[in-house]
Amino acid sequence: MDGTDSVETMRRSANTAAAAQDVRSSTSGGLAVARRPLHIAFAGILTVIGALLGYRAAEWYLGYLSRSSSALSSLATGGWAASNLVAVTLLGTLLGFLLASVTFRQIVALVPRIENLPVEDKVAGMIGVVLGLIVAVLLQPLVKSIPTFGNALVVLAYVFGVTAGVLVMVSMKKELVGMFASGSSAATDEEVQALRDHEAKPKLLDTNVIIDGRILDIWNSGFIEGELLVPQFVLDELQTIADSADDLKRARGRRGLELLNRMKDEVANFGILRARDYAVPVDDVTGVDQKLIRLATGMEASLITNDYNLNRVADVQGIPVLNVNRLAISLKPVVIAGEEMTVNIIRPGRDPGQGVAYLDDGTMVVVEDGEPKVGRVVDVVVNSLHQTVAGKMIFAQLKDGANHEHRRGGSSR
């Protein structure tokens, strides 16, 4: 029996891992394919540059030895010189390849942050790059004339010019928006902020709302705009739940993974947010909720959840939250005192004589003197409405005492 249980556990874990891998690969496969040629080209270019720099460094070193004393000048020729040339060239090649790998990963991680920048920041940055290059070109003849360090200072002049240009232009982005605004009057700060507020922010999903499952129906109804993103640590937690030994937890985790697979097919703006794409580091934060708070703050994103505690913490920190439970409560039909309705009393109430019924949306209806009508469909009149933390509760009484009662088929008697 133990062997059979172990095999079953391994099989379930493999199925769960495969489902999670399907979600990961389907949401990032195309992106990885698109990056691979760029990575190869970038690594090849920097590797060649590293080899050329290594070769030039070896030539400079051998030239320095040939101009030195007679004892050292003999090392600049023969087999030792050739070995030195090859070794330094290979060292430059290796350093160029390593630098390419590190630099490309940093560039890839920077792309989502640039994409999330406001339009005015992007425009100001481009103008700053152009102005910085112009200043560096004008300074190049003067800087290059400095002996010994001229070439190195030219590179520094370009780096400094571009950096300073970007910083200055970004700090003046509001003035730039005003200068290039269409019409006779420049855009005010309030108008710029209003435009930014109307942009659809990316939405981060937490584990609870994925397991809940209603988020897909809400998206299909058109009430949500922007990207729906699932951070990698949320997907990892979901897979851990799906691998749980507890049957209920395992079923909930698998339902969440199945929902993600449906969302990748039905939601065009759905994606898995990889760790390398995080706008801010979250490794120093413990707990999925705290990581979501950190990531939402860094991305200026909204949270979609049905977790009450996460909702409260996000509210305190000024993070927009879309709570599915709040939405469900808001969409329940409004009833007023004196309104008539037909309900099915299913059980006795807490107090003597009371009967309890439920509306289609789950709202509890407490019917006075309804206990004798348990199991029957009756007409009731609303007395009052009570709002609780869990939702709305309706108090009603039987219409005309007990004269209006319905059969299961719907006919009155």
- Check whether 6 has a pLDDT greater than 50: no
| 219 Cβ neighbours under 8 A, 6+ residues apart | 228, 263, 266, 267
pLDDT recorded at residue 31: 45
pLDDT recorded at residue 46: 83
Domain boundaries of the chain, sorted by first residue: 126-198, 203-330, 340-406
- Check whether 12 has a pLDDT greater than 90: no
pLDDT recorded at residue 380: 92
pLDDT recorded at residue 92: 84
Find, among 318, 314, 317, the residue nearest to 305 by Cα.
Answer: 314
Find, among 197, 198, 196, 262, the residue nearest to 230 by Cα.
Answer: 262
Least confident of 73-77, 131-135, 167-171, 266-270: 73-77
- Check whether 373 has a pLDDT greater than 70: yes
- Between residues 151 and 380, which one has the greater pLDDT? 380
pLDDT recorded at residue 205: 92
Q: Per CATH, which fold does 340-406 belong to?
A: OB fold (Dihydrolipoamide Acetyltransferase, E2P) (2.40.50)
Calculate the average pLDDT of the chain. 78
pLDDT recorded at residue 412: 38
pLDDT recorded at residue 32: 45
pLDDT, tens digit, 9 for 90 and up, residues 13-23? 555 555 555 55
CATH (residue range 203-330): 3.40.50.1010
pLDDT recorded at residue 155: 81
- Between residues 3 and 249, which one has the greater pLDDT? 249
Total count of residues recorded for the chain: 413
The confidence band for 27, taking pLDDT boundaries of 50, 70 and 90, is very low
- Check whether 407 has a pLDDT greater than 90: no
| Average pLDDT of span 26-42 | 61
pLDDT recorded at residue 286: 87
- Check whether 413 has a pLDDT greater than 50: no
* Residue where the block lists tokens 């009393």: 345
What does residue 287 show for φ and ψ, rounded to 5 degrees? Answer: 95, 135
pLDDT, tens digit, 9 for 90 and up, residues 36-67? 777 788 788 888 888 888 888 877 777 776 76
CA distance 109 to 96: 20
pLDDT recorded at residue 10: 47
pLDDT, tens digit, 9 for 90 and up, residues 101-154? 888 777 777 776 676 667 777 788 888 888 888 988 888 888 888 776 777 778
pLDDT, tens digit, 9 for 90 and up, residues 178-236? 666 544 444 455 555 555 555 678 899 999 999 988 898 888 888 888 889 999 999 99
pLDDT recorded at residue 159: 84
CA distance 99 to 119: 31
pLDDT, tens digit, 9 for 90 and up, residues 317-336? 999 999 988 888 777 777 88
The confidence band for 347, taking pLDDT boundaries of 50, 70 and 90, is very high
The confidence band for 406, taking pLDDT boundaries of 50, 70 and 90, is low
The overall pTM is greater than 0.85: no
pLDDT recorded at residue 356: 94
Q: If 0-12 CB within 10 Å is exposed, 13-18 middle and 19+ buried, where does residue 395 land? A: middle
Secondary structure of the chain in HEC code, one letter for each residue: CHHHHHHHHHHHHHHHHHHHHHHHHHHHHHHHHHHHHHHHHHHHHHHHHHHHHHHHHHHHHHHHHHCCCHHHHHHHCHHHHHHHHHHHHHHHHHHHHHHHHHHHHHHHHHHHHHHCCCHHHHHHHHHHHHHHHHHHHHHHHHHHCCCCCHHHHHHHHHHHHHHHHHHHHHHCHHHHHHHHCCCCCCCCHHHHHHHHHCCCCCEEECHHHHHHCHHHHHHHCCCCCCCEEEEHHHHHHHHHHHCCCCHHHHHHHHHHHHHHHHHHHHCCCEEEECHHHCCCCCCCCCCHHHHHHHHHHHHCCEEEECCHHHHHHHHHCCCCEEEHHHHHHHCCCCCCCCCEEEEEEEEECCCCCCEEEECCCCCEEEEECCHHHCCCEEEEEEEEEEEECCEEEEEEEECCCCCCEECCCCCEC
pLDDT recorded at residue 389: 60
